[in-house]
Structure 1
């Protein structure tokens, strides 16, 4: 990875620390294939979560049910590698039984109801060595296929007990066919599946491409999962104060110089840089960054840029990297057309997560 430091300083002031903040725009990460496989584990934010650390909303019985179903699912994955004749024992309660032919669970619900927490808890609770279970986002899974090739990916994952896929989305026909084929091969090999998304399996791709043209593939994907609906409010903001308003460029720059390991970038320049880095590398882009400081945040200009920003927001949230910004508030990043379109749930998730990270960054100002 190539990393260089920014020379930006507070106008009219001397640098506050001897080391200038880093710049994400100066980074060109290269991620070898073996690292892609080794890092298919829950991200740092979810490294310590378990079913007993999940706090179901007492007004949302579906959340409590999800914990019971997934706990039973994890317990059923112990012992020998799963086979078609062994799938009945994945669900202990009659009410949680999977339809014939399903090979996993699909957590559907709005943003902020704890789906990733539950998915990571399932990974941790599954009685198998880390090398026999994999956890990654949909983007990371498709990138693994790109790095290893389809057959090698099938061979690499076929020996696993469990594959967890977070943020399951089908944004283009190519991904639809690719993932449908991959999961079918893994199911045949006895791999259990679990996924999260804001979209029910049968409606994946709706509003984003000509889903009707690929109905067979989408229905094939849906057949692998038992949908598990999780209702509730966004826990990230339940009962919490509003996110801090954006700061001035001078405050953000001063905080960047005062914070060891911080990065400092102009927001429009960062959006341009994201277009030159594959989204699967956004995690590596933030390696070693303690805080992200952004000046001149403005509404994103188009949908392609917006979707790249969503991926960056997810990776920052996974890694618990606070975000300090000047410019427009995060709830004004996306236009009304975007928030009412096919990717609206992605954009609301990004706003929710960036707002939480902005709250985490409050202590950086004035330190």
Structure 2
């Protein structure tokens, strides 16, 4: 179809004319893009094991680098010997008694788990199309876009699947992911995942996990758990996060920063309820800075969990966030910070605070 003068302006045109609004965007992501983008996000594109700086007071961090380096080398050995399964398949043993096919990085927020997971992806000696990297939300959405059998066929040809932010928030996800990973392991795919919760404890405090104990135990059997201790590196030795700005400063920055977006925070939260979380990355395509006015505590848990996903995608893409209203450490209620999703909320606070620190130079300029 030919274009006409009445066609809607492109996203680039709107950004050039002034700050766009995330609330104006309702992205649709085709299935082929979902598969093509299963690589480490921009923030972690250049990380490697040797760029990870272990805390000298936390020996588990240096141990994690050693174990993951050996894990990656084992995958290379499998390729060199002519068999895909190497480390992770023991042909003499039935699948039911074989050992773990992957590693599971467990630890608090800000200890560098995603850095290590991306480093593993980069260190694995395989072509990019033979290894996949995505968040748990992106993985479940891929199944929704392709269908279960096609997802198994697509990922089953891979050497490695890395799953960041592994969480089980509902029974449906538990059964789906348990079945999917079981099929992939049977195909010889090695697994690696990060989470703030040990695999045997997934789902606790969120739903009746005891009713799905078999699936959860099955998931746990695929992994060797690797605990990583330490403090949040994003704030280790750094000054306190900047206080929120006033509305006029936020609007000024939005209008003077090329590629900035400008949104009223409550309106953005409402908009997120109409966009699938798997599309939040596409929601920020081309955005150089996110400017928010009127930040207030989130009203409920569903809204809070959507905000967590948005914070993760903005952090992955290194998009600074400049805001007015309440500080980010007041986004979630005390009840939320004491509940089953508390680790997600603390991670979101940590990441948004880091992005607010990145945005301070925009207001000072």
> Shared topology, TM-score over 0.5?
yes
The question of whether the paired residues in 2 share the 8 Å contact of 1:4 and 1:23 is answered with no
2:335 is aligned with 1:337: yes
Structure 1 runs of 4+ with >4 Å offset: 1-7
The Cα offsets for residues 232-290 of structure 1, whole Å up to 9 and x where unpaired, read as: 00000000000000000000000000100000000000000000000000000000000
CA contact (8 A) 1:133 1:161 kept: yes
1:2 to partner: Cα distance = 8.7
- Matched residues in 1 for 2:21 and 2:116: separation? 34
Q: Residue 227 of structure 1 aligns to a residue in which SS?
A: strand
What is aligned with 1:111? 109
**CA drift at 1:19:** 2.1
After superposition, give the CA deviation of every residue in 1:63-119 in whole Å (9 maximum; x if it has no partner).
000000000000111114532x64389xxxxxxxxx952100000000000000000
Q: Within 1, Cα distance between the matches of 2:292 and 2:359?
A: 12
User: Residue 58 of structure 2 aligns with which residue?
Assistant: 60
CA–CA distance in 1 between the matches of 2:9 and 2:117? Answer: 33
Question: 1:346 matched to which residue of 2?
Answer: 344
Residue 2 to residue 356, structure 1, CA distance change in 2 (3 Å): farther
**TM-score, normalization by structure 2:** 0.93
Describe the shift of the 1:81–1:20 C-alpha distance in structure 2 as closer, same or farther (beyond 3 A).
farther
Show the counterpart of 1:13: none
Query: How many aligned positions are there?
Result: 348
- Which residue among 142, 145, 160 is the counterpart of 2:143? 145
> Which of 174, 179, 185 is the aligned partner of 2:183?
185
Q: Does residue 1:325 correspond to 2:323, yes or no? A: yes
Distance 1:139 1:127 in 2: 26
| TM-score calculated relative to the size of structure 1 | 0.92
Query: Secondary structure at 1:170's aligned position in 2?
Result: coil
The 2-side partners of 1:6 and 1:290 are apart by: 14
Paired position in structure 2 for 1:157: 155
TM-superposed deviation, 1:366: 3.9
Aligned to 1:50: 48
Distance in 2 of aligned mates of 1:65 and 1:2: 52
Of 292, 314, 317, 1:316 maps to 314
- CA distance, structure 2, for counterparts of residue 221 and residue 4 of structure 1: 42
Distance 1:2 1:200 in 2: 48
For 1:208 and 1:118, the matched residues in 2 are separated by 27
Aligned to 1:92: none
The unaligned stretches of length 5 or more in structure 2 are 1-7, 91-96
Contact kept? 2:266, 2:295, Cα under 8 Å: yes
Deviation of the 1:20 alpha carbon? 1.5
On the 8 A contact 1:323/1:361 being kept in 2, the answer is: yes
1:165-314 → structure 2 map (5 Å cutoff): 165-314=163-312
Question: Equivalents in 1 of 2:319, 2:27: separation in Å?
Answer: 18
Per-residue deviation, 1:47: 0.1
Determine if the alignment matches structure 1 residue 82 to structure 2 residue 84: yes
- Residues 16 and 258 in structure 2, CA contact (< 8 A), matched pair in contact too: no
Corresponding residue SS for 1:82: coil
SS of residue matched to 2:23: helix
Compute the RMSD of aligned alpha carbons: 1.8
State whether residues 65 and 116 of structure 2, in contact with CA within 8 Å, keep that contact through their aligned partners in structure 1: yes
In 2, Cα distance between equivalents of 1:253 and 1:26: 17
1:40 to 22, 38, 41: 38
Structure 1 Cα separation of the partners of residues 211 and 83 of structure 2: 36
Unaligned runs of 5+ in 1: 8-16, 90-98
User: Structure 1 residues 33 and 75 mapped into 2: Cα distance closer, same or farther (>3 Å)?
Assistant: same
> How big is each residue's C-alpha offset from its partner over 1:286-312, in whole Å with a ceiling of 9 and x where there is no partner?
000000000000000000000000000
3-state SS of paired residue (1:208): coil
Q: Give the corresponding residue for 1:71.
A: 69
Contact map agreement 2:102 2:224 (CA 8 A) in 1? yes
